[in-house]
């Protein structure tokens, strides 16, 4: 095994002559890296444990994989400011100039000891991650491997986390940063003595990541706040936006938008509006998306006048509303449906057309409004209008149209459109199938209905409670009461719990099939 690792060192050409690596190259490199790490896992960790601290296993990686550069020019060397906490680690590998490296010398040193202690893994992992600072991709896969083998423990190995965070901050790999923080949050829950704030203190020891440049620190804060939001830890996210926690860094409006939007979606509308007001007090400028979310928030509270007032606020702030803002309001009108409001939505829609601001989404919103108020032919007219403008339907919009067509009893048209979707390589999901199955049953097109059910299952889609209710209703309606009852068995094996609608449909089926006694028993004791 060791032999295999050392046979063919990769020759590194000088950085100036090598073309910039493309995405494919990077992917390839990453794949190669994971492969080798997997190999390492099998070998045990001994390969990565050199005799001396300076003889880092990072060197092993260096001759094994060409060092890839990301978008930064090589003039920008990663500056890894030392901290008091990290001072005992050897910093000699900061500079990763890609000089020719004699590979043969290191072959023996990596297969040294077999008796690895947790301590040297800790030390080495920090060391290796740090030495891969010019290759974030590789650093990340190494880190992932460490985690999979549970070598990144807590709270002892906080420095390895700090190292990986610094690297990702520097390279602006925000998504990966968020993943690291998701991890950290999970770990900090296992180890209550550790607080994320301690980690930030560590990062701040340098005066910020990378020599006090707040842009880097901001990335770490954003990523952490985002991770909190994803985990619905809203209080923690909000707490971090407070002046004492921000470390005098101004929060990013995009992150704030993300927070406010998720708050609204989770029904915490008042909290969202409070944050919005706080942002304004902080002097942060909301952008058009912020305003759109606020419009949505007021609509959700049924305070449509206040939603209108937001447009005024935008005018004062000289932020031009975009199609999303208008759509948010149209959606609000459609959801708080009344004849008058629908007219309001139509007026705003035609204004959008005049301004050349229509987007696909506004069509969905208004179509949905028409469907809800049973103006199905208007909905279909709108669909035609949309096609005439060369807009295309996406998956969700297709389903809105399907649902309108099915209610009109025009399932065949819907089924034709399914073929269009497939021709466009669009994938149907469980909601499409539910709509269509329902439509087929309503028209008593049983062959189509069962074909749809089969197709859905063949594609590996699992029916959920709504789908089962639709099927139960369909079976009952066509008089197949026993099959509706039997559906409960299938639901049980699929782990879907029937609800009151399911039972209601089954009882209806039994009653209309004349099986009143069975219906009564079912009502009394269930199945």
Binding status of residue 289 toward DNA by CB under 7 A: yes
Smallest gap from Cβ 314 to DNA, in A, equals 15
State the DSSP code for 324.
H
Binding status of residue 327 toward DNA by CB under 7 A: yes
- Residues between 453 and 472 with contacts to DNA, criterion CB under 7 A: 463-467, 469-470
Which span (60-68, 136-144, 182-190, 289-297) binds DNA, by CB under 7 A?
289-297
Cβ closest to DNA, residue 183 vs residue 508? 508
Report whether 232 contacts 267 (CB < 8 A): no
Smallest gap from Cβ 335 to DNA, in A, equals 8
Cβ closest to DNA, residue 147 vs residue 477? 477
What are the phi and psi torsion angles at 519 (to 5°)?
Answer: -60, -45
- The candidate with the shortest Cα–Cα distance to 405, out of 367, 355, 349, 358, is 367
User: In this structure, is the dihedral angle defined by the CA atoms of residues 276, 280, 282 and 285, taken in order, positive or negative?
Assistant: positive
Smallest gap from Cβ 309 to DNA, in A, equals 19
**Which residues have a Cβ under 8 Å from the Cβ of 281 and sit 6 or more positions away?**
none
Binding status of residue 512 toward DNA by CB under 7 A: no
Binding status of residue 182 toward DNA by CB under 7 A: no
Cβ closest to DNA, residue 359 vs residue 511? 359
Cβ closest to DNA, residue 149 vs residue 287? 287
Q: How many CA atoms lie within 13 A of 364 on its CB side?
A: 17
Q: Which of 131, 137, 210, 290 binds DNA (CB under 7 A)?
A: 290
Smallest gap from Cβ 366 to DNA, in A, equals 11
Q: Which of 140, 432, 481, 484 binds DNA (CB under 7 A)?
A: 432
Q: 10 Å Cβ neighbour count for 110?
A: 21
**Count of residues interacting with DNA (CB under 7 A):** 43
Smallest gap from Cβ 175 to DNA, in A, equals 7
Q: What are the distances in angstroms from CA 459 to CA 44, 275, 394, 455? A: 41, 43, 20, 6
Cβ closest to DNA, residue 36 vs residue 418? 418
Cβ closest to DNA, residue 59 vs residue 438? 438
What does the per-residue mask of binding to DNA show for 304-323, with x meaning CB under 7 A? Answer: -------------------x
Structure tokens belonging to residue 54 = 């300076």
State the DSSP code for 106.
G
Cβ closest to DNA, residue 59 vs residue 435? 435
Dihedral angle of Cα 173, 178, 184, 188, to the nearest 10 degrees: 150
Helices 288-300 + 323-335 axis angle, to 10:
0
| Cβ density class 235-259: b for 16+ within 10 Å, e for less | ebbbebbeeebebebebbeebbbbb
Distance CA 123, CA 112 (A): 16
Smallest gap from Cβ 336 to DNA, in A, equals 13
Cβ closest to DNA, residue 31 vs residue 427? 427
Element (H, E) at 84: none
- Residues between 375 and 404 with contacts to DNA, criterion CB under 7 A: 394-397, 399-400, 403
Q: Which of 249, 308, 501, 513 binds DNA (CB under 7 A)?
A: 501
**Helix or strand or coil: residue 83?**
coil
Distance CA 267, CA 19 (A): 51
Cβ closest to DNA, residue 183 vs residue 322? 322
Which span (42-50, 234-242, 324-332, 446-454) binds DNA, by CB under 7 A?
324-332
Cβ closest to DNA, residue 157 vs residue 467? 467
Cβ closest to DNA, residue 106 vs residue 434? 434
Smallest gap from Cβ 391 to DNA, in A, equals 10
User: In this structure, is the dihedral angle defined by the CA atoms of residues 279, 208, 15 and 9, taken in order, positive or negative?
Assistant: negative
State the DSSP code for 48.
G
Q: 10 Å Cβ neighbour count for 232?
A: 13
Which span (67-75, 123-131, 346-354, 361-369) binds DNA, by CB under 7 A?
361-369
Report whether 129 contacts 164 (CB < 8 A): yes
Structure tokens belonging to residue 489 = 């068995």
Cβ closest to DNA, residue 77 vs residue 372? 372
Smallest gap from Cβ 296 to DNA, in A, equals 8
Structure tokens belonging to residue 44 = 């045990």
Q: Which of 40, 187, 228, 365 binds DNA (CB under 7 A)?
A: 365
Binding status of residue 429 toward DNA by CB under 7 A: yes
Q: Which of 15, 360, 482, 512 binds DNA (CB under 7 A)?
A: 360
Binding status of residue 273 toward DNA by CB under 7 A: no
Distance CA 516, CA 522 (A): 10
What are the phi and psi torsion angles at 188 (to 5°)?
Answer: -70, -20
- The candidate with the shortest Cα–Cα distance to 259, out of 242, 272, 244, is 272
Smallest gap from Cβ 31 to DNA, in A, equals 25
**Which residues contribute to the site for DNA (CB under 7 A)?**
254, 257-258, 261, 265, 287, 289-290, 292, 323-324, 327-328, 331, 359-361, 364-365, 368, 394-397, 399-400, 403, 429-432, 434-435, 438, 463-467, 469-470, 473, 501
């Amino acid at each position: 095994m060791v032999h295999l690792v050392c046979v063919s060192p990769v020759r590194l050409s000088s950085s100036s002559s090598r073309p910039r690596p493309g995405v494919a190259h990077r992917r390839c490199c990453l794949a190669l890296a994971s492969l080798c790490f997997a190999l390492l896992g099998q070998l045990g960790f001994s390969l990565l444990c050199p005799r001396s601290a300076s003889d880092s296993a990072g060197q092993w990686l260096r001759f094994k994989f060409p060092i890839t550069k990301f978008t930064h020019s090589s003039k920008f060397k990663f500056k890894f400011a030392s901290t008091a906490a990290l001072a005992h680690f050897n910093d000699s590998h900061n500079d990763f100039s890609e000089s020719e490296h004699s590979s043969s010398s290191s072959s023996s040193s990596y297969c040294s000891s077999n008796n690895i202690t947790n301590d040297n893994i800790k030390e080495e992992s920090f060391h290796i991650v740090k030495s891969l600072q010019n290759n974030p991709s590789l650093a990340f896969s190494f880190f992932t491997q460490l985690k999979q083998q549970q070598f990144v423990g807590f709270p002892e190995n906080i420095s390895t986390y700090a190292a990986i965070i610094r690297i990702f901050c520097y390279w602006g790999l925000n998504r990966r940063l968020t993943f690291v923080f998701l991890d950290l949050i999970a770990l900090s829950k296992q180890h209550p003595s550790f607080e994320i704030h301690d980690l930030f203190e560590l990062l701040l020891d340098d005066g910020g990541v990378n020599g006090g440049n707040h842009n880097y620190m901001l990335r770490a804060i954003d990523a952490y706040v985002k991770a909190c939001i994803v985990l619905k830890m809203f209080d923690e996210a909000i707490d971090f936006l407070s002046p004492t926690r921000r470390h005098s860094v101004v929060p990013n409006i995009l992150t704030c938008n993300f927070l406010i939007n998720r708050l609204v979606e989770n029904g915490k509308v008042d909290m969202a509006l409070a944050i919005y007001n706080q942002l304004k007090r902080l002097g942060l400028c909301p952008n058009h998306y912020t305003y759109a979310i606020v419009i949505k928030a007021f609509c959700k509270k049924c305070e449509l006048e206040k939603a209108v007032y937001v447009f005024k606020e935008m005018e004062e702030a000289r932020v031009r509303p975009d199609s999303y803002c208008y759509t948010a309001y149209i959606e609000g009108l459609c959801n708080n449906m009344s004849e008058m409001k629908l007219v309001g939505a139509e007026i705003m829609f035609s204004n959008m057309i005049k301004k050349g601001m229509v987007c696909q989404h506004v069509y969905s919103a208004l179509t949905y409004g028409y469907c809800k108020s049973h103006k199905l032919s208007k909905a279909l007219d709108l669909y035609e209008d949309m096609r005439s403008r060369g807009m295309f339907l996406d998956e969700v919009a297709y389903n809105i149209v399907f649902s309108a067509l099915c209610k009109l009893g025009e399932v065949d048209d819907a089924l034709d459109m399914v073929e269009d979707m497939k021709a466009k390589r669009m994938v149907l999901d469980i909601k499409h199938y539910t709509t269509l199955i329902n439509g087929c049953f309503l028209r008593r097109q049983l062959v189509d209905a069962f074909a749809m059910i089969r197709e859905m299952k063949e594609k590996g889609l699992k029916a959920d409670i709504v789908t089962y209710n639709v099927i139960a209703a369909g079976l009952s309606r066509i008089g197949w009461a026993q099959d509706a009852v039997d559906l409960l068995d299938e639901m049980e094996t699929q782990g879907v719990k029937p609800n009151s609608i399911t039972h209601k449909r089954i009882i209806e089926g039994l009653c209309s099939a004349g099986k009143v006694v069975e219906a009564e028993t079912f009502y009394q004791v269930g199945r």
